[in-house]
């Protein structure tokens, strides 16, 4: 494959208690980028994880180099939206991937995102679990129903025109991501949903790539009852705002 030296891809990885997952996802990311001859950096935004995630990140930086692993820790758990703001301020790539650090998003799909983006010069490419070819593994029936209902309600109320509104594996043009973050008001889990609504509102083009989502192997899910209530409230707030 010919080198893609004219583009650089920054990966934003917000972390909180991911010491077991971080080395694996980092190795898989490095492998995916190098095998496809892509220029890249991985920006780790750790929110003062008590499990020592930052110390693991420092070891990875020594292993792969400061030009590839960029550490931008924060003083506490400050939310997903502000983590992306913090990360993009330090990103040197012209494209930005956002994804979860818990290995639910496999880096093997990265070439598919890039291929899709190039097809029509999309501003945003989002991974979808719910289009043909997408799938979810490792969730029980309750979690699957929760996700499906959340997407159905959001699609009905907000009509964003994407099949997986709550997904968080995406590729953005850097300037597009910066503009969308400035327009987005939500925090936490609602943030990803509002980003797609704002993208349509701002007339950015969106492509979709089917992905396989696998539930985390190590650590505990951060989605609980309070997050679900917050999601429903946030969805209503967005509906009233648009």
The CA-to-CA distance between both ends of the chain, in Å, stands at: 44
pTM (predicted TM-score): 0.83
- Residue 152 CA to residue 38 CA, distance in Å, equals 36
Q: Which of 7, 114, 15, 122 is nearest to 72 (CA)?
A: 15
pLDDT confidence bin for 63, thresholds 50/70/90? very high
The overall longest dimension of the chain from CA atoms, in Å, is 48
What would the mean pLDDT of 183-210 be, rounded to a whole number? 85
Contact 207, 121 (CB under 8 A): no
pLDDT of residue 4: 46
Residue whose structure tokens are 């750790």: 46
Tell whether the torsion through CA atoms of 119, 205, 163 and 126 is positive or negative. positive
Share above pLDDT 90 across residues of the chain, in percent, rounded to a whole number: 53
Tell whether the torsion through CA atoms of 187, 190, 196 and 201 is positive or negative. negative
- Write the pLDDT tens digit of every residue in 117-166: 999 999 999 999 887 787 777 666 666 666 666 666 666 655 567 888 77
- Residue 148 CA to residue 170 CA, distance in Å, equals 19
């Amino acid at each position: 494959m010919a080198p893609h030296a004219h583009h650089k891809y920054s990966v934003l990885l917000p972390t909180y208690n991911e010491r077991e997952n971080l080395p694996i996802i980092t190795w898989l990311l490095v492998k995916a980028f190098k095998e496809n001859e892509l220029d890249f950096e991985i920006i780790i935004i750790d929110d003062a994880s008590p499990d020592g995630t930052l110390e693991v990140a420092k070891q990875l930086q020594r292993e792969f180099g400061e030009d590839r692993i960029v550490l931008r820790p924060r003083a506490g758990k400050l939310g997903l939206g502000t983590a992306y703001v913090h990360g993009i301020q330090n990103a040197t790539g012209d494209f930005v991937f956002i994804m979860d650090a818990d290995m639910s998003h496999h880096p093997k799909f990265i070439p598919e995102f890039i291929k899709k983006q190039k097809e029509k010069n999309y501003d945003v490419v989002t991974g979808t679990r719910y289009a043909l070819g997408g799938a979810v593994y490792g969730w029980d029936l309750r979690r699957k129903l929760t996700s499906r209902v959340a997407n159905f309600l959001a699609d009905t109320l907000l009509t964003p025109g994407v099949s997986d509104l709550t997904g968080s594996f995406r590729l953005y043009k850097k300037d597009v991501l910066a503009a969308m973050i400035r327009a987005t008001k939500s925090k936490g889990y609602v943030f990803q949903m509002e980003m797609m609504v704002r993208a349509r509102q701002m007339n950015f083009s969106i492509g979709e790539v089917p992905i396989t989502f696998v539930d985390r192997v190590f650590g505990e899910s951060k989605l609980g009852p309070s997050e679900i209530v917050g999601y429903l409230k946030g969805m209503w707030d967005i509906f009233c705002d648009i």
